[in-house]
Amino acid sequence: MTADLDLASRPHLPRGVRMRRDEARGRWILLAPERIFEIDDVAANVLQLCDGHRDLKSIVAELASRFSAPEARIQTDVVAMLNDLRSKRVLEI
Amino acid sequence: MAPNPPSPPIGLLVELTHRCPLSCPHCSNPLALERPADELETGVWARVFKEAADLGALHVHLSGGEPTARRDIVELTRAASQAGLYTNLITSGIGVSETLLAGLVEAGLDHLQLSFQGTDVETNDRLGGYSGGYVKKRAVAEMTTRAGVPLTINAVIHRGNLHQVGAFIDLAVELGARRLEVAHTQYYGWALANRAALMPAKDKVEAAIALVEDARKRLSGTLVIDMVVPDYYARYPKPCAGGWGRLAINVTPVGKVLPCHAAESIPGLEFWNVRDHALGDIWRRNPAFNAFRGYEWMQEPCRSCERKAVDFGGCRCQAMALAGDARATDPACWKSPLHETIANRAAEEAAAGAAAIRWRRLRETQPAQPAGP
């Protein structure tokens, strides 16, 4: 990973990574080269906001309002999750 | 008996053709290659993609042979993509022009996996049996990343290129690949016929594994490295294809549906054809798919083994090839009575060094290759 994720970052799925519903198994997944990542509903909510236009600050604000939770906590969780996906090369900023 | 009904497959691997410009001795295709005239038509493949997606498959691997030897490869990619499958082209790069790649991208190609046989001109072109291959492959890697398509470099490793594992890692980074497969040869088909010429020494394999593990840490976030370990030296067998009839479906160039690419090496199994049956019907009802589902078919030591749900007794085809019984414990497992014998045989083959190479070819349709080194 080159740059650090910060509030101005605009996270997005890179070309070759697709999020979709896996109806046969009733779950959300990320499809990547030779890999399938099962994602829970919370992660799916986060990733739907990672469209490359929104910055992390607005994503956190949106989630905080959606889940009525403090922004600081949301930010900690979201940053950890996004960094994990970046280390697997399925998310870019 | 098999679990009823089986869970849906994850991946569909289609061997679109057995034609290939290369003649790699490590090829996993069967020795009896299918003739071009017998290959499935475009429309049948399109139906197979649709049926696979309906069944729950997520990835399709467009493979071969060399899949771009099919003139309808763009059309096939489009059909797979429109069916909703994540499309992965597994190619040697030979025959991939700028125009073809643009067509594939437009048709919805998600990912391209490019093989290298070595990390320099001499090694690569000698081991692939194709002069000019290395330069061409580099050009394809460059045009793939320029098109924004994620690139995997696939390196099948054996005695002839084991010393280049570090160089493969450097090459993958240099070419902008997101992923590298360091796939130690698995001995099926042509590779099994060439085992004595390909088998590396155990200490060198272990050094190469350590090198990959170190690179994984160093390159986290830059390059994902997947490694297939050589199982003759392993302690436990691989859960081949994720378990027989559990996750994967293979379709041969002529439409035979297999649980794995080597399954036809097991005598007594009748594999159904997509020309005669819907894919879902084959997945659920073909007795060959049910033959090794569940645990009832197992013998000891598998049957009472605590790892039977982890590795499913290993690979049925390898049990057939090495123990002469598809129900036996895969001799790659230390619990197999044959384990020590095969490890010793591998060590002897590795130590003996030179052995004649049998170059892969379609017997009827290709001229003989010049003798290898």
Q: How many CB atoms lie within 10 A of CB B229?
A: 19
Q: Is the predicted pLDDT of residue A87 greater than 90, yes or no?
A: no
Picking from A16, A18, A24, the nearest residue to B8 by CB comes out as A24
pLDDT value of residue B364? 43
The answer to whether residue B367 scores a pLDDT higher than 50 is no
Residue B144's CB: how many other CB atoms inside 10 A?
Answer: 28
| Bond before B67 cis per omega within 30 degrees | no
State whether B88 and A88 contact (CB < 8 Å).
Answer: no
Query: Which residue type sits at B243?
Result: G
Q: Is A61 on the interface with B (CB under 8 A)?
A: no
Q: What is the pLDDT of residue A4?
A: 84
Query: CB distance A25–B56 less than 8 Å?
Result: yes
Percent of chain B clearing pLDDT 90 (strictly above) = 87
Q: List the alpha helices (DSSP H) in B37-155.
A: 42-55, 73-82, 98-106, 121-128, 133-146
pLDDT at residue B125, rounded to an integer: 97
* Mean pLDDT of all residues in A60-88: 93
Query: Cα–Cα distances in Å, from B224 out to B106, B140, B146, B230?
Result: 26, 20, 19, 19
Stretch A33-60: mean pLDDT: 93
pLDDT band at B34 (very low <50, low <70, confident <90, very high): very high
A64 vs B: CB within 8 A:
no
pLDDT at B50 over 80: yes
Give the per-residue pLDDT at B365. 45
Task: Return the closest-CA partner of residue B11 out of B55, B57, B63, B45.
Answer: B57
Look at A1 and B88 and tell me if their CB atoms are within 8 Å.
no
Within a 13 Å sphere around the CA of B219, how many CA atoms are in the beta-carbon half? 23
B224 to chain A nearest CA, in Å? 7
pLDDT, average across residues B63-83 = 97
- Position B230 scores a pLDDT of 81
- β-pairing, A27-32 vs A35-39, is antiparallel
- Alpha carbons within 13 angstroms on the beta-carbon side of residue B297 total 21
List the single residue in A with minimal CA-CA distance to B222: A1
Q: Is the pLDDT of residue B306 over 50?
A: yes
Count chain A–chain B contacts defined by CB atoms under 8 A.
Answer: 57
Query: Residue B32 pLDDT > 70, yes or no?
Result: yes
Tokens of B217: 């840490």
Q: Are A64 and A11 in contact (CB under 8 A)?
A: no
